[in-house]
């Protein structure tokens, strides 16, 4: 699949440090829908150049994703030049400006697309414009950086609710897939991960950023609709085959209901 199609349908995004090429193959075998080589947070300043080279070598044979360093940093221009040689998903951290993202998009290789990581107050406010940049295929929520800026805990769901909702609404208004939720930092707590995924799903987020391979199957399991939901969705789609509004088990079935059922079936088939 092309990078835009991979990103648009992905449920899980797994980060792998650019300084650990020995882990690249393992990340690719994790079952994650998209692997992103990280040149930003996981890489110390002294190792940026080597990480960039490792990422470029890998991209030469695989259309993966890369999280470059933010615009305005010392490493941004070189990162962008390196990834622009190959079709891939380019994850832009600290995404705050639709204009800047548009300029980045013009430098990408044909077939590439942008994943905007929104993790600042300015980014949340600008989310509707960011989501409408043609090259932006998906939004992702950077809960830890935003929480630090706001002076709250990233695990405080009440404090983070507005920001998550803002990304969901911006994505829907721009006709993008639902955004990726931020990471669950405790990689050993599967119950917490399940609860986080469930919470995000209720708000309209449709994917999850992962920092360890063991998180991937848990997220996939939690995002998969239940058997009862899949049965319901199948009945809705079948009942609506003739078009128009119909009644199913006493409930009205119209276009929005049918679209929800189809999304549910796609999620179930993709598990």
CB of 268 closer than 8 Å to CB of 225: yes
Task: Give the C-alpha separation, 164 to 208, whole Å.
Answer: 12
Question: Residue 198, class by beta-carbon neighbours within 10 Å (0-12 exposed, 13-18 middle, 19+ buried)?
Answer: exposed
Q: Tell me how far CA of residue 243 lies from CA of 230, 235, 236, 246, in angstroms.
A: 20, 14, 11, 8
Instruction: For residue 141, give the H/E element and its range.
Output: strand 136-141
Q: Which of 173, 222, 169, 215 is nearest to 199 (CA)?
A: 222
Task: Give the C-alpha separation, 172 to 111, whole Å.
Answer: 23
Let me know the angle formed at the C-alpha of 89 by 130 and 77, rounded to the nearest 5 degrees. 75
CB of 139 closer than 8 Å to CB of 116: yes
DSSP helix/strand/coil, 67: strand
- 215-223 vs 190-203: helix axis angle to the nearest 10? 40
CB atoms within 10 A of CB 263: 15
Answer yes or no: is 119 a known binding residue: yes
CB atoms within 10 A of CB 56: 18
Answer yes or no: is 145 a known binding residue: yes
Known binding-site residues equal 67, 119, 145
Known binding-site residues for substrate equal 67, 119
Known binding-site residues for Mg(2+) equal 119, 145
């Amino acid at each position: 699949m092309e990078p835009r199609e991979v990103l648009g349908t992905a449920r899980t995004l797994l980060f792998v440090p650019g300084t650990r090429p020995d882990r690249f193959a393992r990340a690719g075998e994790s079952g994650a829908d998209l692997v992103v080589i990280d040149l930003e947070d996981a890489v110390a300043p002294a190792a940026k150049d080597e990480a960039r080279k490792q990422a470029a070598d890998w991209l030469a044979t695989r259309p993966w994703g890369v999280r470059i360093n933010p615009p305005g940093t010392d490493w941004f221009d070189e990162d962008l030049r390196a990834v622009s040689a190959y079709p891939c998903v380019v994850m832009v951290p600290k995404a705050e400006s639709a204009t800047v993202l548009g300029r980045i998009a013009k430098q990408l290789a044909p077939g590439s697309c942008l994943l905007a990581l929104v993790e600042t107050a300015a980014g949340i406010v600008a989310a509707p414009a960011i989501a409408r940049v043609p090259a932006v295929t998906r939004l992702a929520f950077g809960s830890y950086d935003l929480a630090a800026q706001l002076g709250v805990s990233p695990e405080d769901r009440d404090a983070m609710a507005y920001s998550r909702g803002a990304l969901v609404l911006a994505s829907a208004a721009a006709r993008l897939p639902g955004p990726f939720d931020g990471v669950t930092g405790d990689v050993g707590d599967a119950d917490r991960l399940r609860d986080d995924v469930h919470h995000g799903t209720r708000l309209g987020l449709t994917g999850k950023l992962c920092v360890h391979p063991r998180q991937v199957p848990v997220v996939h399991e939690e995002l998969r609709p239940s058997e009862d939901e899949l049965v319901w969705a199948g009945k809705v789609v079948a009942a609506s085959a003739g078009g128009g509004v119909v009644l199913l088990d006493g409930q009205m079935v119209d276009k929005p209901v049918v679209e929800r059922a189809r999304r549910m079936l796609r999620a179930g088939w993709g598990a």
